[in-house]
């Protein structure tokens, strides 16, 4: 059991280090993108590129939220938080989702005004296209790097932040297409590109917010994980059956409650050892924070 606890602690430390490193890389990239996009958008007269720059700015804010949550979620359990602080990550995911939703709505409002009152033809310069294409490449590379780290350490918060970067890459593609249209003599396409970006950002924000909200309301694990927990308990030697299996998310970890049936003639120690064996097997295979067992004689 001590070894299992040590393994979980090592995994938690590795997760925190990987999250901090990948997020700092994202901070550097997003600072560069925000400055270059907004400046180039103003100089070239591209509304879509300015909107994309604001999107990169929200990524930068999101990065700092992730750093904050990553630091606090790694704290050990204390007198006020007996199960630890993992839900800092869920709260951070909710904040990221709400911020994306708000920014997306703002983009829609701004782009709508531009479509109603379009700028004169010929104002957008080729500089906007170069910066938009460069941003597209940078964001896609950043997304792939961040997602690989998130999947390796199994962090839903980092996955959300990675897809935040992917939404930026998609928005840069839309902006690039809009800028090409504007350069060809259809400036309204630049505003249409900003409108599409706003829709994409708002949709992503809604999805992240909804997922995080469900986790904060003690949502159970996926069907696949639930079935695997059932299999592990059933395969444990000495287990005659089980019932009242319940699960809930705690950040990226899982809390499990279950009643385990053992032979009625088993001693207290034998029943305890059987339950402990099932608990350790579950915690070894899945990202489980704790398994609360109750022994029933059959």
Of the pLDDT bands very low, low, confident and very high (cuts 50, 70, 90), residue 53 is: confident
**Residue 83 pLDDT greater than 50, yes or no:** yes
Instruction: Tell me the pLDDT tens digit for each residue of 69-79.
Output: 777 666 777 77
Instruction: Tell me the pLDDT tens digit for each residue of 191-227.
Output: 777 787 778 778 878 887 888 888 778 788 889 999 9
Mean pLDDT of 24-36: 89
**Least confident residue range of 43-57, 140-154, 275-289:** 43-57
**Residue 12 pLDDT greater than 70, yes or no:** no
Is it true that 2-216 and 223-297 share their CATH fold?
no
Indicate the domain borders of the chain.
2-216, 223-297
In CATH terms, the fold of domain 223-297 is Alpha-Beta Plaits (3.30.70)
For the chain, how big is the Rg over CA atoms in Å? 25
Instruction: Tell me the pLDDT tens digit for each residue of 224-268.
Output: 999 999 999 999 999 999 999 999 887 667 899 999 999 999 999
Superfamily of domain 2-216: Cation efflux protein transmembrane domain (1.20.1510.10)
């Amino acid at each position: 059991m001590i070894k299992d606890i040590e393994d979980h602690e090592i995994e938690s430390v590795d997760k925190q280090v990987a999250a901090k490193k990948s997020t700092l890389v994202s901070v550097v990239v997003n600072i560069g993108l925000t400055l270059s996009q907004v400046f180039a958008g103003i100089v070239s007269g591209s509304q879509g590129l300015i909107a994309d720059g604001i999107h990169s700015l929200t990524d930068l804010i999101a990065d700092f939220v992730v750093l904050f949550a990553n630091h606090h979620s790694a704290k050990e359990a204390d007198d006020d938080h007996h199960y630890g602080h993992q839900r800092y990550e869920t709260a951070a995911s909710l904040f990221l989702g709400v911020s994306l939703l708000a920014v997306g709505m703002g983009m829609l409002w701004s782009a709508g005004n531009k479509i109603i009152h379009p700028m004169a033809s010929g104002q957008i310069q080729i500089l906007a296209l170069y910066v938009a294409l460069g941003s597209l490449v940078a964001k896609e590379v950043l997304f792939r790097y961040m997602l690989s780290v998130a999947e390796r350490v199994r962090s839903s918060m980092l996955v959300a932040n990675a897809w935040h970067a992917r939404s930026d890459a998609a928005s840069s593609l839309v902006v690039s297409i809009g800028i090409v249209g504007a350069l060809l003599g259809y400036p309204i396409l630049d505003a249409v590109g900003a409108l599409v970006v706003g829709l994409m950002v708002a949709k992503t924000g809604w999805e992240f917010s909804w997922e995080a909200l469900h986790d904060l309301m003690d949502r159970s694990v996926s069907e696949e994980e639930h079935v695997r927990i059932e299999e592990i308990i059933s395969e444990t030697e000495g287990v005659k059956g089980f019932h009242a299996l319940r699960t809930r998310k705690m950040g990226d970890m899982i809390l499990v409650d279950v009643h385990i049936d053992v032979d009625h003639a088993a001693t207290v120690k034998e029943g305890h050892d059987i339950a402990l064996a099932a608990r350790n097997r579950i915690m070894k295979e899945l990202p489980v924070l704790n398994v609360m067992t109750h022994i029933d004689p059959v």
